[in-house]
Structure 1
Amino acid sequence: MWMPVCGLSRLISQTIVCARVTGVDLILVWTEGHAVACERLCPHEQADLALGHLSGRRLFCPRHAASFDLRKGTISHGWPSRPLRIYPTRIDDGQVWIDATAVNSPAI
């Protein structure tokens, strides 16, 4: 089930936007012409990734400076953490949509 969560123009202007989908806190990130949805809390130390910064397609945690690849969710080398959960997005009619079914699916 796809849900609209943010206007595309808002995401482009703000770069990182917080969202809540079916009770789960996420962030939307605009990077290199793509909308990416991921979990809001860092899987390593639960820092708020909405306060992080971007460099290309990497999102840097504001607490410990490790970074996550926004294509696969992998953390930078040397950090003991599971990957960042990335959720399917699409852009339609000026809105960013998230697959809510994927958000509620158990992590693999």
Structure 2
Amino acid sequence: MTQWLDAAALDDIEDEDVMRFDHAGHTYAIYRVDGHVYASDGLCTHEHVHLSDGFVMGHVIECPKHNGRFDIRDGRPLCAPVCEKLKTYPAKVADGRILIEV
């Protein structure tokens, strides 16, 4: 069963940035780009480093450890050393809050 989780206030994250959200033993990364919000698993698929410490460039998150990159819209890997897709989740804004569907 899926549910919408209240992850943060929209104002808690700057445009072209990423933040960490932990819930029920799972870490997520929440992104804000050009007024849209996105969500993914919070750990890189390569060496399980927190993506919230990474760098957002447009729709790309760069892992802080080995500079692997993912498209935050669909999780596809964009350059080595990452080769495994990042799981993404539907995200939306309602009443100034960021919600993700898990």
Moved over 6 A (4+): none
1:53 alignment counterpart: 55
Q: Kindly provide the amino acid, as one letter, of the partner of residue 67 in structure 2.
A: A
Moved more, 33-42 or 5-14: 5-14
The answer to whether the 8 A contact 1:88-1:98 is kept is yes
Q: Give the deviation of 1:47 after TM superposition.
A: 1.4
Looking at structure 2, the residues matched to 78 and 27 of structure 1 have their Cα atoms a distance apart, in angstroms, of: 20
Q: Could you list the runs of 5+ residues in structure 1 that have no partner in the other structure?
A: 101-108
Paired AA for residue 22 in structure 1? A
Q: Which residue of 2 aligns with 1:3?
A: 5
The equivalent residue for 1:27 is: 29
Identity %: 26
TM-score between both structures, scaled by the size of structure 1: 0.82
Q: Which has the higher helix share?
A: 1
Q: Distance in 1 between matches of 2:87 and 2:52?
A: 14
Paired residue type of 2:35: G
C-alpha spacing 1:60/1:16, structure 2 compared with 1 (3 Å): same
Higher strand residue share: 2
* Aligned residue pair count: 100
Q: Which whole-Å CA distance do the structure 2 matches of 1:13 and 1:34 have between them? A: 9
